[in-house]
Structure 1
């Protein structure tokens, strides 16, 4: 192994007052400020034996701050290489580094070229931070990552991105010390990797006749052919080499057994039915999947042979998620295979499929990783799990001695909204602002110290159904990627979020120079509904000076002369609050707007028998009595989502209260497995224990009003009201996600 010493000769200067924090992201494990300062010289001399690729990267990214010349030690500036035994024992040790900055020199030490490269990333940020003054404070940095897997994912199937754009994406990962790029290359909507043995995969599977646009519920299409778009094997080799130079591992994903329509369009004989098929034009999940017959496995083995030759990664991602069992249930071959192998059911057949693929991948010296549905029917012996539906998959994997990467949608899906949906571009749904990403701890509390060792790391995912170009890619990952990097490094401090936010705002200067189209959502005024006396109040905040917030209650746009925000605004009646941030008399943010519909349940105590999914739980049960009616076109922060669960909500008025009408909304978005409620009941009680049903709503009633339930319950007078809303249950055949648990989305429960 090697130790690298980077020594810059400089003039001794006066004592530099130590500061408390640096504008570094991710923040190092340990920073110790020392006396003195390092003056950035006009020219730095480097030793001839330095690692060429890493040093060239450093020179490129500090261009304009100083110049470089190669020279001998006695000429003042040099980088010394020396052996550094013993062999590092872990991936983390390979990435360990230290930086010593004194008045006379800068010394970098590391075990490997990779550690040296990470040290240079820190040094680049320091040079950038102090380039104007030309003086870097003396300090000692000792640093290493917490997690070996620090990843970002990119879906190029729903929308395609060029080689140069993918390289830019990899550059962003390198800048913030992420080390894994998960490249999602195949799906229902497009096959994006050239496979020489099967040319029709890209001839047919890399294009579609049109694409869905706008909100999913609109069911509209652009009518424009999309593609053919794919990467040649030479292009992939070029991208892999580019990533390797930045010490980033590319993990390719080849989806199976589901999400296979693009492949089946080219080779329909691999399906359970005859087809014909075409690459999907809609988003969502489809019933036609790979049929587990010998010719399918031979096809997949041949595909994997070419993939493995292109990608040197330890892991090959084989998908495994969202595989409907409808076709397998109807397929004579599949049913015979279940009997022949004594499998319990179609979930067992999925496990059989994954086991067989894993055995083949293992024979090639590689391992498989898949989404947490590969746990269905039993996990393959050497498989790793990517836990996306929550933390349950990661916990189950770790407790059974399998490695896991944590990527739960609630914290790590960057296709979710990151600001007020009303002021953000169209997104898939959910609400994952910067602060929420920063709050994530990848080690589940359910794991003990030994089990926690199986958590490889953390990753964020970017699915691109609603991301049409690379500018929008930038918008969705920045600044959330900065929070992810610090979570993955394990130096995040959620209790001190505002300090991190100030570093993010400072980092915007770097993103501006790079021309990155980052989201400025943290500048906007954000609102939070809080309980207030017998109702609610609206609490406004901003990353800037809160004294700059102005708001109105009459529906008009706020101006610099509007009411200044000082404390939470009581919401006593139905109204619209509009707010914005002003600085020096100028509007500095988008205008935020929130409608309130006040009823007798608003702000009252509410309990739920079943909790919502973590992905769609913003605000918890209180969301159902916060006075906000959900937007049917946006699955953002105003809805609670329940998969396979009924909603049973009990509201305590605090005293006997008269009412005659009850209302709530449910959603129908079958492409996302969301179905209207099956039925609903309204019950009342005076003691909170003994309830009497006063109204029952059937499925036909719910369908007739498009899920917008408003029912007359007669003249009632009670302290408690209970609303039971029944989930649709198992999704029936013929629908996306058939045989899976349906989602039930519910918004405000009101009474008048």
Structure 2
């Protein structure tokens, strides 16, 4: 009987523990509860044989609230460690394996390497932070190692520059949440940020620009202030690399080629296809002037790479390869001769020639290249790895060809996107990537077999800084999304248990507060979602807190604690403005959220699309086009659908024959982001969804004159189905950013009156 009771007690203890997870991010692979608890002593004693560099890092992180010292002769250490023979490791990821056993008397760590020991210390730091009030750690056994070998964060220092100290802080954030790769984006059109001793003009000229674009891109306004010179000396770069190595983080440098080269061409115009002169870009976007694939250019790039490789010990060197317009190459006699001489198919083949030549050189130095997925154009270089950003297809194609890939699709991993309601967030690049979406990402595409999946190195998030002016905003954009990335990369994220993860995130906020980190509090704010309701729409409100604290108004006034309490989705029967906010203990705890609705006869009806939007700009799916919300031309977040190279063919089912005389929709013009107005539009009606009659057609000139805000008088109509065909602009013409690439078509609400 006693044995049965004890067994039942242990079982119930384990169940209770599983229901009350430790506040750890990323969550470990395996946690086992033991009997008892470890009482944190007034002074924590460390074993003398602990790896010194990592232990000193640990001391600095915790000693402000927890005194530590090394045990003296005769004293029993509270924290001990043993390094298992590396020969015992069965695979590469064992390097990051660790085991922690917390008993009532001591904490013992086992690992194969000092890197594993360091990761164990990060887990301990989080445990100590979470239990510094009650001073008791549960007796547990944690056995842990990551699923993916590459868990990275990228930082663009070209659009806006960040100091060495700020870069070190960024690296510290990665270390805290067990990321192991820092991708340093050092060159671009807007600035060259790395000292190359053989080419001093790169930093003398290329590290500055005459002014910078400010505000939303569509505003086309500039600050008129010279920017720079800003760059890192080679000594500073060595310092950063050493700092990262102490935290077991690999620094991967990126030197952009053949595109995004204006800053380099401003210093050395002879490397272009035309004579120039050039200057570092003051706008954001993509530009036609790129490196010309001539011998002089290759010598230059090889010399640059020599110095880069000497500085950076990383296995991979990132060579960019993305967004390279072919306009200049098409017009360049040398490029056309090169295409003929090497029997290349076209300019895309020339891009492949360029990348393969660079790869061969990098390989002679004992290194490998990695590039954005455009390096697949014309054929992938033999040993190259792919960083898949335009979606998951680049990674899938690479893995199927037995090339390694890092997954970083913009729809999940671009942290320059909005993470909350764009109306209450700082200006961002666009898109909508909230915390739960990052957390839901599985880096292994379902299209891959088990053998192909082995070529997925891991996952990375990217932070482009066009709209990020200072380091406080860097912090805001990466936190708390970095935590979701961390757990997705570790392999323990579970979207079904997102709310439990969100609670662990909130528990981490006190650590960020202590550090003075300016993290986003978007999860506290009201999140609104339009849902179908009885042939119309309703507005569903939620927050990470108790939804009973939500108050709202329907007359446009600011909500107070005395406003109507939210209980269920709010019906939107007609055009109105809803404002909402979260209150706790009578106090306003969130930003006030505002949403205007313009209700028409299509609002909330059934809609189908013949072609689906890009994953980056697909929030809400087809329903976004009939949800009663007009898109904000300054914010490409939740309210637009984006189609890359595709037409929009939308069919709306009114449910019954309906009278109307006007059809409206909006299409966006933002050429710097490769977004072009529609080329044409046609309106059809039908009663059987099979036989459609054309009732209106407009061309490019009419759309341009209306600046994309289309209002069409279609005469008196009575139909059950409406079909709207909106034609994509096609291939972007020369003289525009992204020339020779597919244009984006952005559309928001399709309404009828």
Seen in structure 2, the aligned counterparts of structure 1 residues 51 and 747 have a Cα distance that, compared at 3 Å, is same
Number of the residue aligned with 1:470: 471
Q: Out of 154-163 and 60-69, give the one that drifted further.
A: 60-69
- Per-residue CA distance 1:155-201 (angstroms, 9 max, x = gap): 00000000000000000000000000000000000000000000000
Seen in structure 2, the aligned counterparts of structure 1 residues 428 and 80 have a Cα distance that, compared at 3 Å, is closer
**2: CA distance, partners of 1:672 / 1:41:** 57
Do residues 608 (structure 1) and 609 (structure 2) align?
A: yes
Do residues 25 (structure 1) and 25 (structure 2) align?
A: yes
**2: CA distance, partners of 1:198 / 1:24:** 47
Q: Out of 443-452 and 18-27, give the one that drifted further.
A: 18-27
Number of the residue aligned with 1:36: 36
- Per-residue CA distance 1:541-574 (angstroms, 9 max, x = gap): 0001100000000010001100000000010000
Q: Does the 8 Å contact 2:207/2:228 carry over to 1? A: yes
1:86 shift after superposition = 2.0
Q: Out of 60-69 and 431-440, give the one that drifted further.
A: 60-69
Q: Does the 8 Å contact 2:81/2:109 carry over to 1? A: no
1:71 shift after superposition = 3.2
**2: CA distance, partners of 1:497 / 1:91:** 30
Number of the residue aligned with 1:677: 678
Q: How does 1:342-361 map to 2 (within 5 A)?
A: 342-361=343-362
**2: CA distance, partners of 1:387 / 1:510:** 33
Q: How does 1:564-575 map to 2 (within 5 A)?
A: 564-575=565-576
Number of the residue aligned with 2:457: 456
**SS state of the match for residue 457, structure 2?**
strand
**1: CA distance, partners of 2:83 / 2:439:** 38
Number of the residue aligned with 2:133: 132
Q: How does 1:40-51 map to 2 (within 5 A)?
A: 40-51=40-51
1:389 shift after superposition = 0.3
Number of the residue aligned with 2:230: 229
Number of the residue aligned with 2:644: 643
Q: Does the 8 Å contact 1:65/1:127 carry over to 2? A: no
**SS state of the match for residue 567, structure 1?**
coil
Number of the residue aligned with 1:6: none
Number of the residue aligned with 2:217: 216
Q: Does the 8 Å contact 2:83/2:111 carry over to 1? A: no
Seen in structure 2, the aligned counterparts of structure 1 residues 445 and 198 have a Cα distance that, compared at 3 Å, is same
**SS state of the match for residue 430, structure 2?**
coil
Number of the residue aligned with 2:7: none
Q: Tell me the TM-score normalized by structure 2.
A: 0.97
Number of the residue aligned with 2:553: 552
Q: How does 1:211-290 map to 2 (within 5 A)?
A: 211-290=212-291
**2: CA distance, partners of 1:369 / 1:188:** 20
- Per-residue CA distance 1:515-540 (angstroms, 9 max, x = gap): 00000000001100000001000000
1:61 shift after superposition = 1.1
Q: Does the 8 Å contact 2:370/2:384 carry over to 1? A: yes
Q: How does 1:315-464 map to 2 (within 5 A)?
A: 315-464=316-465
Q: Does the 8 Å contact 1:47/1:73 carry over to 2? A: no
Number of the residue aligned with 1:12: none
- Per-residue CA distance 1:483-525 (angstroms, 9 max, x = gap): 0000000111101111001111110000000000000000001
Seen in structure 2, the aligned counterparts of structure 1 residues 711 and 319 have a Cα distance that, compared at 3 Å, is same
**SS state of the match for residue 510, structure 1?**
helix
**SS state of the match for residue 21, structure 1?**
coil
**2: CA distance, partners of 1:641 / 1:196:** 44
Number of the residue aligned with 1:703: 704
- Per-residue CA distance 1:270-293 (angstroms, 9 max, x = gap): 000000000000000000000000
Number of the residue aligned with 1:66: 66
**1: CA distance, partners of 2:137 / 2:726:** 62
Q: How does 1:492-511 map to 2 (within 5 A)?
A: 492-511=493-512
**2: CA distance, partners of 1:322 / 1:735:** 13
Number of the residue aligned with 2:726: 725
1:401 shift after superposition = 0.2
* RMSD of aligned Cα (Å): 1.1
1:353 shift after superposition = 0.1
**1: CA distance, partners of 2:292 / 2:556:** 57
Seen in structure 2, the aligned counterparts of structure 1 residues 647 and 716 have a Cα distance that, compared at 3 Å, is same
**2: CA distance, partners of 1:378 / 1:18:** 52
1:33 shift after superposition = 1.2
Q: Does the 8 Å contact 2:86/2:113 carry over to 1? A: no
- Per-residue CA distance 1:434-482 (angstroms, 9 max, x = gap): 0110111111010010000000000000000000000000000000001
Do residues 179 (structure 1) and 194 (structure 2) align?
A: no
1:34 shift after superposition = 1.4
1:42 shift after superposition = 1.8
Do residues 54 (structure 1) and 51 (structure 2) align?
A: no
**SS state of the match for residue 501, structure 1?**
helix
Q: Tell me the TM-score normalized by structure 1.
A: 0.97
- Name the count of aligned residue pairs: 738
Seen in structure 2, the aligned counterparts of structure 1 residues 579 and 691 have a Cα distance that, compared at 3 Å, is same
**2: CA distance, partners of 1:369 / 1:673:** 25
Q: Any stretches of 5+ residues in structure 1 without a counterpart?
A: 1-14
- Per-residue CA distance 1:416-451 (angstroms, 9 max, x = gap): 000010000000000000011011111101001000
Seen in structure 2, the aligned counterparts of structure 1 residues 56 and 675 have a Cα distance that, compared at 3 Å, is same
Q: Does the 8 Å contact 2:80/2:107 carry over to 1? A: no
Q: Does the 8 Å contact 1:18/1:35 carry over to 2? A: no
Q: Does the 8 Å contact 1:18/1:34 carry over to 2? A: no
**2: CA distance, partners of 1:114 / 1:316:** 22
**2: CA distance, partners of 1:622 / 1:689:** 22
- Per-residue CA distance 1:348-400 (angstroms, 9 max, x = gap): 00000000000000000000000000000000000000000000000000000
Q: Does the 8 Å contact 1:26/1:482 carry over to 2? A: yes
**2: CA distance, partners of 1:626 / 1:503:** 33
Number of the residue aligned with 1:154: 155
**2: CA distance, partners of 1:315 / 1:282:** 30
**2: CA distance, partners of 1:299 / 1:220:** 35
**1: CA distance, partners of 2:412 / 2:283:** 26
**2: CA distance, partners of 1:721 / 1:694:** 10
**SS state of the match for residue 42, structure 1?**
coil
Q: Does the 8 Å contact 2:663/2:750 carry over to 1? A: yes
Number of the residue aligned with 1:481: 482
Q: Does the 8 Å contact 2:84/2:111 carry over to 1? A: no
